[in-house]
Amino acid sequence: MITDLLYQEYLSLLLNGKRDACSRMVQALIDKNIDIKTLYTDLFQKSLYEVGKLWEFNKITVAREHLVTAITEGLLNLVYPKLFLGKRTHKKAVISCAANEFHQIGGKMVADMFEIQGWDAHFLGANMPLDQMLHYIDEVKPDLLGLSLSVYFNMPSLIKGIEAVKTNFKNLDIVVGGQAFNWGGMDKVKSYPNTVCIRSLVELDHMITVE
């Protein structure tokens, strides 16, 4: 459980670039066995959304926003030892951002959720060229593909990706998610076979558990 006090303290440290203090706070939560979904959603995601608003309304500089992002990406690695403790399922997921999509933290969290549930999660990161993603899917033959999209103007790139995957790997399950769907696109995506849109880590966790 992340109290408002703890969150505010963390946010202030984060905005001031206090990497060591943020790291100690997060490590303390991990040592207390915090649920990783809670850590990701109620601390990392919440603070990044807040920073996004501060940036949008010119309250902080681009440099500070980049600083916060870099610190958060580092903090995600503190969770690493927790990812592989569960029973392995021998299932594979490839998780990627669409081409031209540079927001990769949400996708990384999604990949971590699959690992926690015992899957091998291959996270390809931001701005993945479509032809290379198709090649990788062919090589690895995953049970599921996860695609992350944050900015709505990248929706055509995501749709192009889904269509190419459906043409080449007809039966591959696809899960999409990300903030772009706040602005639409859900119906279009759901019109493709074996393709679902999932909006939160709790919903995702449920889907993986029943898979």
* 36, 177, 195, 205: residue in contact with ligand B12 (rule CB under 6 A): 177
Nearest distance in Å: CB 44, ligand B12: 6
Q: Does 156 bind ligand B12 (CB under 6 A)?
A: no
48 near ligand B12, judged by CB under 6 A: yes
The residue count for binding ligand B12 (CB under 6 A) is 36
**Residue selected from 42, 65, 173, 211 as contacting ligand B12 according to rule CB under 6 A:** 65
State which of residues 176, 185, 189, 205 lies at the interface with ligand B12 (CB under 6 A).
Answer: 176
Three state DSSP letters for the chain: CCCHHHHHHHHHHHHCCCHHHHHHHHHHHHHCCCCHHHHHHHHHHHHHHHHHHHHHCCCCCHHHHHHHHHHHHHHHHHHHHHCCCCCCCCCEEEEEECCCCCCCHHHHHHHHHHHHCCCEEEECCCCCCHHHHHHHHHHHCCCEEEEECCCHHHHHHHHHHHHHHHHHCCCCEEEEECHHHHHCCHHHHHCCCCEEECCCHHHHHHHHHHC
Would you count residue 102 as binding ligand B12 (CB under 6 A)? Answer: yes
Q: Does 38 bind ligand B12 (CB under 6 A)?
A: no
Q: How far apart are CB 25 and ligand B12 at their closest, in Å?
A: 18
Least Cβ distance, residue 1 to ligand B12 (angstroms): 17
Q: Is residue 106 involved in binding ligand B12 (CB under 6 A)?
A: yes
Interface contacts to ligand B12, rule CB under 6 A: 40-41, 45, 48-49, 51-53, 56, 65, 69, 100-107, 109-110, 146-148, 150-152, 175-179, 198, 200-201, 204
